[in-house]
Amino acid sequence: MRYITRDMYAAVKNAPHMRVFSANLLFSNKDLSGIIAEVHARDPDIAVFEEATPAHRARLLGDPALSGLPNRVFANGSDTILFSRLPIESSEIWSETAKPMVRARLSTAIGTVEILVVHTVAPINGSAIARWRQMLDAIHDLAQQRTTPLLLVGDFNATIYHHRFDAILDTGLTDAHSARGTGLTGTWPRDKPVPPFLRIDHALSSKELVPTHASYGIGSGSDHRPIIVDYALVGSAAP
């Protein structure tokens, strides 16, 4: 877990910035208008979505409020979607896990940044737990083997207290909300009489992407609160 140290202030202050928005839409959500309005209001450079159905995808692709994010990655075999203002150098539907996820390489002010839109299965029974563990282990291996700046963002279905999640951080990644002092706020479940008490949605980045601000959205119609993170792209200036 990284914090902005005194030595990093100059690099962060002078670096280009990038905003990322992530929302789990909820498969049964019939009205995306609230979440789309949030994306438009937050004006991110990258917006990612999980639990996106074909109907959700059609709504997102056709909504003029998202026209500022013209570069998109999606496929019928995945419930994850990437919208980007930044050019996409290459993309794929990553199938190394039990549930395929969007993976892309984006062109940024510091060069190529790789992004994985994470959505693991919920560990609700023995079979699902085995798949969930496999997915977290595969994400760990991807992070361990990275050769470019990396961003993992989405619904991990894991809190920061799980040892497999901790192992992903141990590859040298930073959890944005923990680093910016907002890590104790929950993202799930948001559709209950009490506030969400588990933070299972995360944005993890390699040292070239320094989180400068991490907050939460509303997530109308979903059972998750969105997460929003601002990054300073310090590149090789990262100590």
Return the residue matching tokens 């019939």.
Answer: 30
Q: What confidence category does residue 1 fall into, taking pLDDT thresholds of 50, 70 and 90?
A: very low
pLDDT over threshold 70, residue 146: yes
Which pLDDT does position 235 carry in this prediction?
81
Task: Tell me the average pLDDT of the chain.
Answer: 94
For 40, the token pair is 């438009």
pLDDT tier for residue 4 given thresholds of 50, 70 and 90: low
Model pLDDT, residue 222? 98
Edge-first strand listing for the sheet containing 88-94: 88-94, 101-108, 111-119, 150-155, 201-205, 174-175
| Average pLDDT estimate for 63-85 | 97
pLDDT category at 215 given cuts 50, 70, 90 is very high
Check pLDDT > 90 for residue 2: no
Domain boundaries, the chain: 6-237
pLDDT of residue 239: 52
Least confident interval from 74-78, 96-100, 161-165, 224-228: 96-100
pTM of the shown model: 0.95
Establish whether the linkage from the previous residue to 189 is cis, with ω within 30° of 0: yes
Torsion of CA 4, 7, 11, 17, to 10 degrees: 0
The string over 70-84, giving b where at least 16 C-beta atoms fall within 10 Å of a residue's C-beta and e elsewhere, is ebbbbeeebbbbbbb
> Which of these ranges, 10-19, 39-48, 74-83, 172-181, has the smallest mean pLDDT?
10-19
pLDDT tens digits for 96-128?
988 999 999 999 999 999 999 999 999 999 999
Per-residue pLDDT, 14:
86
The CATH superfamily label for domain 6-237 reads: Endonuclease/exonuclease/phosphatase (3.60.10.10)
